[in-house]
Structure 1
């Protein structure tokens, strides 16, 4: 976590998180974050560091100067099956991740061995925490509406009604609507549709699904309604959004290719 406080749902486990926390999430474990501030004025900012599945094989085949003892914590990290968390004590984690980010940003990393010692250091730092239950942050007031929003994020494909959600925190539908609006600045329906539109954008960005399939995937069965919601959210049609992303991606790819060519 780079900034802010919030909630994290990993599988069946819910926890409070804060700046300086690192969570290791193995492939296949579903998880969602939600900021403590529900209005969006104090966001929860997160850095992601993804390790490729083939990294273990690459490490074992390295002809370089690294010993098996140096590589062992990282190899163990790659084999982790359950999520775990590491809570920073000073700024040791931030400094290490900043060094990794700077190294990756300043060059093409053709010599991957420059990054391996930092990965070994990271794994050596956090792996002892794998055997310790992640501590809940003390002193943070928890609002039951966070449970509602986490549920919405996890189940937005389904038909989840306001009445059903109000039951979760044991209040009337009218009181639920009022509390939701006060705490988030949005109505329940506005929040639900915003979650659906954000996921629609991800599907347009990272999949080749057709527009109708995407609408169904996010739980909207009326295509006219889906187009209207998407235009209100993004300012353009789904097709225009996808085309713009693809053109930006191609331009970035061409620039990287040109830079690589010039460096030879």
Structure 2
């Protein structure tokens, strides 16, 4: 007996602003949305929780840090692992028409090399969905910034959004290229996974760069080069982004005082924390929490 699936269809005009084929949201997945295909490209990042991604004829277990590139016409839907309200599956979605690849390559044509344009055009030609696993926390931070910028009406908003989307596409492209010898060695030995897990456990009292380099038996200079090459950030920049991302999650899902949340992330100086939070997210912790409540 053949089981028929009910597959819906979504169109960009349901989401896009006039003249701007880009949409970003942060959603709590449920069992209500039908499996669907769409006439736009979708990049989805799992921000919180665990669940399953039904895509084409596959069922994939997902958790925080999973990233999917979903081309036009690919049927899929996310489901949380459990129906209980406390077991939420939170994802960021970035939707855009595939013509945006050509538009971005064309608008910056005089500034880009042919290799730069190939990044955009290669992804435009991609017809098969693929999955990446975040390694350094850079995707979560970028998706959060993209969502925050989309939700606000600041000056040069569209220009900033396009800059974030370009960063996202470049990270996707690079993740599918052969890695350098030093980074490859780290991945083969699973030592970077150990580093990231260790950092997550030590946010209140994070290790210094020499300490974290020693954790995987490399020198501080080599570790600095590797993390810069992989994330585009110094170790200090990466650490601040991970800690502020943790604060954003706590602001979203708890009623804890802001001072308590800052302390959980290792920040004792509240003046410095507020300044850093606003520099990274574009708003104060209070504004971030109020925006999250409205959504």
**Larger Cα-atom Rg:** 1
TM-score (ref. length: structure 2): 0.40
More strand by share: 2
More helix by share: 1
TM-score (ref. length: structure 1): 0.44
